[in-house]
Each structure stands twice: as structure tokens, then as C-alpha cells.
């Protein structure tokens, strides 16, 4: 789901911003940050790029079928009106 290298890189960048006077708490802060980020990301129900691309392709095919069916329905309605103008 999430690239672990990017995740760790973010943790390292965040830990570099910890002031020197809090450096003794650095490990605890990193652990808490890692836990919090992991929990937050899992709640987001993110999908990977492959899953997203599959769903996008499926949606495009479904949309094309829907457009085709709408066109056919319009043609049938027009034919019905021509054969029975009272309706």
C-alpha cells in the first residue's frame, strides 16, 4: 500500500527537526510518530496504484457500455415514436 522507503524517509526527516534539547526522547518520538502514521494511514483505506488503475479501466469500460446502451435506447424510443405518433 504505502512505500516503506518513503515512510521511513519521512520519519527520518521528522526526527531531524527534533530540537537538540529533546534528543534524548528521539527514539520515543520516532516510535510514536511511526505508530501514529501507521494507524492513520490504515484508517484511510488507501489502495495501491495497480488497484486504482484496474478500477479506472473497469469504470471506463462500464461507462462505454452505458453510453452505448443509452444510444440504443434513444434509437428505440425514436423508432417507437415514428411507428406510434400518438404516444
3-state secondary structure 55-69: HHHHHHHHHHHHHHH
Q: In this predicted model, what pLDDT tens digit does every residue of 39-82 receive, in sequence order?
A: 888 888 888 899 999 999 999 999 999 999 999 999 999 999 98
- For the entire predicted model, the pTM comes to 0.51
Q: What is the distance between the alpha carbons of residues 11 and 29, in angstroms, rounded to a whole number?
A: 10
Whole-angstrom CA distances from 70 to 18, 64, 67 are: 60, 10, 5
Q: What is the pLDDT of residues 10-35, one digit of tens each?
A: 888 888 888 888 878 888 888 898 89
Amino acid at each position: 500500500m504505502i512505500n516503506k522507503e518513503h515512510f521511513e524517509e519521512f520519519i527520518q526527516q521528522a526526527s531531524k527537526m527534533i530540537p537538540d534539547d529533546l534528543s534524548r526522547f528521539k527514539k520515543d518520538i520516532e516510535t510514536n510518530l511511526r505508530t501514529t502514521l501507521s494507524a492513520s494511514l490504515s484508517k484511510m483505506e488507501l489502495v495501491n496504484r495497480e488497484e486504482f488503475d484496474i478500477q479506472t479501466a473497469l469504470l471506463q469500460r462500464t461507462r462505454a457500455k452505458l453510453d452505448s446502451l443509452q444510444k440504443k435506447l434513444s434509437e428505440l424510443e425514436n423508432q417507437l415514436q415514428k411507428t406510434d405518433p400518438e404516444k
